[in-house]
Structure 1
Amino acid sequence: MRVTQGCFSFLPDLTDQQIHAQVQYCIDQGWAVNIEFAEDPHPRNTYWEMWGMPMFDIKDAAAVMMELAECRKVYGDRCYIRLSGFDASHGWESVRISFIVNRPQPEPAFVLDRQEIGGRGLRYTTRVQAP
């Protein structure tokens, strides 16, 4: 089961050229871009580790791509890496875009377990499937 979180999650993985274009779009909108990584991409795990500080004053996507390359060197073989664009404008102050840009190789398989509970209810849990 492939992890599908954020924008573009059901598309094939973005190329670096496509990632660059999305980062430049975020910058053009005035959004701060940040890079995050996590070994556990569970949907309720909203607190991923941050790579450096959010890049508020970056004007060129090449700087973000350079940081992404460094993050991939350190964590790329074992972690998921995502980019987020944060809109700090008054009244919004939230993440506007977030998407996965790196998957560990091999990507762990996840299993969805379904359990029937009282009152015709269902409980779903995910777990990592052993290779």
Structure 2
Amino acid sequence: MRITQGCFSYLPDLTDAQIAAQVDYCLRQGWAVSLEYTDDPHPRNTYWAMWGLPMFDLRDPAGAMAELGACREANPETYIRINAFDPTRGWETVRMSFIVQRPAAEPGFRLVRQETKGRSLHYTMESYAVDRSPEGARYNR
């Protein structure tokens, strides 16, 4: 199963040249770039770990690519995404987000059915990654 979150997630993985081109586009728009990583890509998991600080003063995509290389080296089997934050007054939000690294094997999700009061049924998704402990080592074999 391939996780599809953010821009470009239905496309084949971007090359480093394509990633740099997207970062360059973000910088030309005046957006700040940041990197985040996680081993639990559940759609409601908005708390990915931040790699360093957002690069508000970055003007060249080479800086972001250097940080991406360091993040990949430190977190080889995690999801890594690039976020582009628009600080323009009135927007002040993430304008673009895309995955730039995936683990070798993506475990996917399962549907959990729960019967509650009055025989009501509630459904939720759970990542198979959370069954693998400890956190941060869920993809180790």
Above 0.5 in TM-score? yes
**2:53 paired residue number:** 53
Higher percent of residues as strand: 1
**1:98 paired residue number:** 97
TM-score normalised by L of structure 1: 0.88
For the 8 Å contact 1:2–1:110, the answer to whether it is kept is: no
TM-score normalised by L of structure 2: 0.82
Gaps of 5+ in 2: 132-140
Deviation at 1:114, TM superposition (A): 5.4
**For residues 35-54 of structure 1, what are the structure 2 equivalents within 5 Å?**
35-54=35-54
Q: Which amino acid aligns with 1:106?
A: A
For the 8 Å contact 2:40–2:127, the answer to whether it is kept is: no
Q: What is the CA–CA distance in structure 1 between the aligned matches of 2:109 and 2:70, rounded to whole Å?
A: 28
**2:9 paired residue number:** 9
Q: Which stretch of structure 1 is more off in the superposition, 40-49 or 106-115?
A: 106-115
Q: Which stretch of structure 1 is more off in the superposition, 111-120 or 79-88?
A: 111-120
Provide the secondary structure at the position in 2 that maps to 1:71. helix
Equivalent pairs, count: 130
Q: Which amino acid aligns with 2:71?
A: C
**1:26 paired residue number:** 26
Quickly say closer, same or farther: Cα 1:104–1:25, change in 2 above 3 A: same
For the 8 Å contact 2:41–2:127, the answer to whether it is kept is: no
Gaps of 5+ in 1: none
Are residues 1:85 and 2:115 paired? Answer: no
